[in-house]
Amino acid sequence: MLDKFITPVIKPLLTPVVMIMHKRGITADQLTVVGFLVGLLAVPLLAFEIWYGALVAIALNRILDGLDGALARYANQSSSAGGFLDITLDFLFYAAIPLGFILANPEQNAIAGSLLLATFIGTGSSFLAFAIAAEKFKLEKPQFKYKSFYYLNGLTEGTETIALFIAFCIWPQHFAVMASIFAIACGITIFTRIHGGYHTLKQQEADANKAAENVPSSANYEVIND
């Protein structure tokens, strides 16, 4: 929900760092992989209840995630392969953080953490499934033109998820409550994406079929020209 407002603010701040990285020969894909590995460090830190250490790892992951896309665009390295790598590792990172809290306190966090992971699957699958269909119909991306594929809006997006992870690390004793509330919000996102995405694609299919019916066949075209 907040991504479309936050991204334009952050993007210009990354440019000076991106220019330095480009001069040093660093690639966007390298940043993606390094950022993912740094983010994974949060899991053992959470498991051993080193909350602020995990918070640093999460923050660094997000900073590097912002830099890799900016670097790809600056260096004209944007590609479908890079976009695939980025979003795949992002979703793995998102799933890893609740796992860390479950490992820290299974008795208290297992149910809420599992519920959150289940809804993450729903938001992620609805997001990616629509992106595939959007590519087929060449849907415009007015809010995220620089992205490798279509970003479907929702109540819970990247900005909200990272804010949640930060809150988890600051108030770990309230993980179960916060995770449960956010899971409900994810459920709303899943519903709106499925409902909106389904009807959008149905309309696109109807428009495509109507356009095909209005195109004259080659035989008719010859008759008209005769």
**Catalytic residue list:** 90
- Per the CB < 8 A criterion, the answer to whether 134 and 197 are in contact is no
> What does the H/E/C string look like for 150-162?
CCCCCCCCHHHHH
Q: Which has the closest alpha carbon to 116: 169, 179, 42?
A: 179
Could you tell me which residues come within 8 angstroms of residue 43 by beta carbon, excluding any fewer than 6 positions away?
A: 96, 97, 99, 100, 103
CB-side exposure of 73: number of CA atoms within 13 Å? 13
